[in-house]
Chains A and B, each alone.
Chain A
């Protein structure tokens, strides 16, 4: 470039008669002044890092903002086959971690996930194509979210998949645990159907007692049999008529068995199963009371669900511990309770309940439902404690009882027993199995590494405060004596507005700020929408990095060799 050349006058005669410029300033390479070097570096959004199912939340929010619904749906589905389920029942840790929560309120990610997936289903955007057959067969034991997610990913990679399920229908706790007012069965059925359509072989009413007998049929197995058994309270009177576990009760109602008139129902426990059982009893015409031995703060159930239950008319008695269930002519009549106070925290960090002497009281009941926690069924227990899937990856279980090719996941291995964790676990297991069978094992959620964007590193000047979308709910009156879904959908307009609140933490959205404010005019945008810096002239002021609203740039000391 001629402009770059320095102009040197060899004699006065060569100079113009008056001082007139001959060139721009490009010969002055001001990049040599730089001691800090800006660069483009995308980082991980907290919502993505927090999603147990591994969804690339920020990216599909961006597509949603542009009303690119089908693409958003495909992006979610590339990782999670259950967005309609998750949009309804996931406890959304993504929202807990959402940076916008520290500014005003988090993005309503779950509502948007539900919106995208419900809408895509209505539009019927077609199904993802399945890959070429590999000729390898995998047996999956248990059809909860973990098993079905694993089946989905394996089938998409061309493996032949057979699912074995002890119950009459697929879905695990999604079907037999979570009540229909939170997750309508039709929604579940449709998402499961999309998975089965990939060509998955299904054996329901088939309890696998012994994996070794199936060895010849499958090259690998995924065991995700969940936590299907209930703990007992270990108090007198808990066996026998009028007492059942929350899982039994929910399973009965969820599978459409007729349930006896409810009357006064006492639910014992403080977890999600207790709350679901109480709200189900309410819908069956019962008058439920939940007894929990610690206080509200220690309650393991998801707090918003507890509040909703109370609004519906469930009464919750805290610091109340049953000590005996008393019967008269076979029927339950009284639950004897003591009042507790809270002592020092135990190993789990929760304050220990201590009975207050002489505080005993009696509560009348027609039915008692015990929700004292769940545990795995007999099958995995008999083969020793549960090996983690990591150990399986290397082909040897910690316990030496599993042979090569058996992988375990879902509630059986996850530190937190939720739907999204089960889905993430199913996906990771599918990748391990794919690799084990000679595939690439390449994870569709491979973006999960990297520095997570902290709230403090955003530049909030470019984000006006905006209220979070209001999530419509079925009025209390209309919830009585029916299992109609209580969470209602949102409109396309609210969805777009809500998605528009997203900061896009750590991701360049081509807003041009870096380029607009650069005093040295060195930020270039290429036709594909990416930016570069001309280091011949960048003086390293750092304005671009500071004014990037979303921390998609970084700056380091300039190292010159």
Chain B
């Protein structure tokens, strides 16, 4: 990637309020770089509400609409309608929400917008808990992970909700997963989303050093490992039907990914095996959906 280009196209401002090594900021940087300045961002309550800075400052060089926690889908729909009424159909509307705001409290407004096939991009930067309020579990929190509301002895007993399946069930034109570990792929997906009419949903894995309990320099390494251990596969689904897998996982054991993070430090050998079995099953299932016997490369 050419750097001169990077700085010109940079739409996130230094001095923002994210913690050291925040994956959510890296996600935003690359998303906006792909979408360009002609974009309005809608941010329901989440870490990014804080990262963007207090009044009268803003860390984004594009307009931001701060919205209530559960209203990402609805507010973005409204902004879209307002712009369309003014004939500004070329402006991108990006709803940017956390996993809590997407998987949990914002799910109905998201489903409504999606069902209407609103012409918006809805991106969920997933740090797998309610981080802004102090690491409470969400339905995106993985099986057995520690959070302040799922302490070691009562670690989370249900698996992570499959949000992609839920969105795919709405039969929208484009659903994709992406990761800050693979910025070229992430950017390609946002550029693609820009050209598609209707609702686009992009689910981005965005590791969080304080919430996942790893040292801040490892953010990218953790994100890459998630994909290579098949915990977070990188793929696209078109029109709710057609699956394309964009990255061949190296197939590293999931234990390697878990071992890097304090939120999994209480796991027993047996629990790790259970997680591995589930990951393997889900990957097989994804291959099946992509109608593949084994991985075949196709870039985003």
Contact = CB atoms under 8 A, between A and B. Distances in A.
Contact of A525 (B3, B25, B61): B3
A540 B22 CA distance: 12
Given A21-B58, A28-B53, A537-B15, A543 B220 contact: yes
A459 B1 CA distance: 18
Contacts of B56: 7, 9, 16, 19-23
A244 B277 CA distance: 71
Interface string A531-549: 0001011011111011100
Contact of B57 (A22, A525, A543): A22
Interface string B1-30: 111101100101111111111110110010
Interface string B47-58: 000000101111
A343 interface: no
Interface string B202-244: 0000000100000111111100100000000000000000000
A26 B3 contact: no
A26 B13 contact: yes
B17 A25 contact: yes
A103 interface: no
Contacts of B218: 546
A524 B57 contact: no
B293 to A, nearest CB: 23
B14 A537 contact: yes
Given A20-B56, A23-B56, A516-B183, A543 B219 contact: yes
Contact of B18 (A515, A519, A540): A519
Contact of B20 (A28, A540, A545): A540
B79 interface: no
A33 B57 contact: no
A512 interface: yes
B59 interface: yes
A272 B118 CA distance: 78
B219 A24 contact: no
A29 interface: yes
Given A21-B56, A24-B61, A25-B58, A545 B14 contact: no
Contacts of B61: 24
B118 to A, nearest CB: 25
B52 to A, nearest CB: 8
Interface of A: 7, 9, 16, 19-30, 33, 459, 461, 512, 515-517, 519-522, 524-525, 534, 536-537, 539-543, 545-547, 555
24 contacts: A9-B56, A21-B55, A23-B56, A24-B57, A25-B13, A27-B57, A28-B53, A30-B14, A30-B16, A459-B221, A516-B1, A517-B26, A517-B220, A519-B20, A519-B22, A519-B26, A519-B29, A521-B12, A534-B14, A537-B15, A539-B19, A542-B216, A543-B216, A546-B220
Q: Which 4 A-B pairs have the closest CB atoms?
A: A542-B217, A541-B21, A21-B58, A25-B15
Interface of B: 1-4, 6-7, 10, 12-23, 25-26, 29, 53, 55-59, 61, 64, 180, 183, 209, 215-221, 224
